[in-house]
Amino acid sequence: MSLIGLIAGVERSEKTLIVHNADDETVESVTERFADRNVHVTAAPADSGPEEYVVLAEGDRVLAATALSEVLPDGGELRTPEFDAKPYKPILNELDETMFTSYDTKRMVAASREIEDRAWRSSGRLYSGFQRYSDFEKQIPVYEQLGSKSYLDVTVLAHPDTELPDHDGTFEVYPSRAKEIRDVWFVAFDGGGNDEAKCALLAEEREPHRFYGFWTYDPATVDYIFDYVDETYLDGRSDRHRMTGR
């Protein structure tokens, strides 16, 4: 299954967030909070149970339940993955591999930073695809810093639409002219042997500067992304080389 196929598979698995015992205004607030996720928000009364709580379901299967106050914390936003977020963790955990919709470039960079930061604080492999050299060029200072860590192996894939400027050679860049590489933005960290640290962001640019995809903390999904990239774009290719600074 390709990276785009993986995105399509997640997209088909829509989840439902059911808001119990709340007024219409509160339900609308929840709907707005999850507006950029592929989650259907609905309201339902309950004959028993706590006041104002939410249930996340997939089909007939209940995935998580929590107090409404934990989904709508004061001043909080559920927009990008936050690995240390506490207030709505039961729902946040189960929203793993739920589609986000229409992220712009700024929000994609912010989401990528979460994964890059986890890699920075750990060890292992970080794979990133920024579509084109001209897009990745803006990220070079960040990746020089990431690559400076001796325990972090950093690899970037992108379409070579221009010449990259000189850099310090602390990370590897592999050119690819594949359509999938031009269309998909991804950042994946393999956890350095720690399954709990594995994470990935994967999104397709379906409209100019509008991305549709998901993030995941599932070890099997992260492993699949690494295996697919290795086998499809990095193993035995004639255009594989290490970009070094001059």
Domain presence at residue 8? no
**Two structure tokens written together for 167:** 């850099």
pLDDT at res. 134: 96
Q: What angle do helix axes 105-120 and 140-147 make, rounded to 10 degrees?
A: 10
Note whether 139 and 181 are same-domain residues.
Answer: yes
State which amino acid sits at residue 241. H
109 with 88, same domain? Answer: no
Residue 45 lies in a domain: yes
Q: Would you say residue 103 lies in a domain?
A: yes
Residue ending a domain, choose from 95, 118, 146: 95
The C-alpha angle 18, 21, 26, rounded to 5 degrees, equals 75
Q: Is residue 162 part of a domain?
A: yes
- Contact of 128 with 199, CB cutoff 8 Å: no
Whether 171 and 156 have beta carbons less than 8 Å apart is answered as yes
pLDDT of residue 34: 81
Are residues 123 and 191 located together in one domain of the fold? yes
Instruction: Give average pLDDT by consecutive 10-residue segment, the chain, 246 residues.
Output: 90 83 87 80 72 82 81 55 47 68 88 91 95 95 93 96 88 95 97 92 94 90 94 65 36
State the pLDDT at residue 182. Answer: 97
pLDDT of residue 180: 97
71 in the same domain as 106: no
**Final residue of a domain: which of 60, 95, 130?**
95
Q: How far is CA 19 from CA 26, 188, 228, in A?
A: 9, 33, 38
Q: Do residues 139 and 157 lie in contact, with contact meaning Cβ atoms separated by under 8 Å?
A: no
Residues 205, 118 share a domain: yes
Q: Based on the domain organization, do 89 and 163 belong to the same domain? A: no
Q: Where are the alpha helices (DSSP H) in the chain?
A: 3-11, 24-33, 68-71, 89-94, 105-120, 133-136, 140-147, 179-183, 219-229
Residue 9 lies in a domain: no
Answer with the one of 95, 124, 146 that is the final residue of a domain: 95
If asked whether residues 132 and 220 sit together in one domain, one would say yes
Q: Write out the residue range of the structural domain in which residue 160 sits.
A: 99-242
Based on the structure, what is the number of domains in the chain?
2
Q: Is residue 4 part of a domain?
A: no
Residues 115 and 232 in one domain: yes
CATH number at residue 149: 3.30.870
- Tell whether 145 and 235 lie within a shared domain: yes
Residue 51 backbone zone (phi > 0: left; psi -120 to 50: alpha; other: beta): beta
For residues 126 and 52, membership in a common domain is answered with no
Same domain, 146 and 58: no
Whether residue 27 is found in the same domain as residue 112: no
Q: Is 24 inside a domain boundary?
A: yes
On whether residue 1 sits in a domain, the answer given is: no
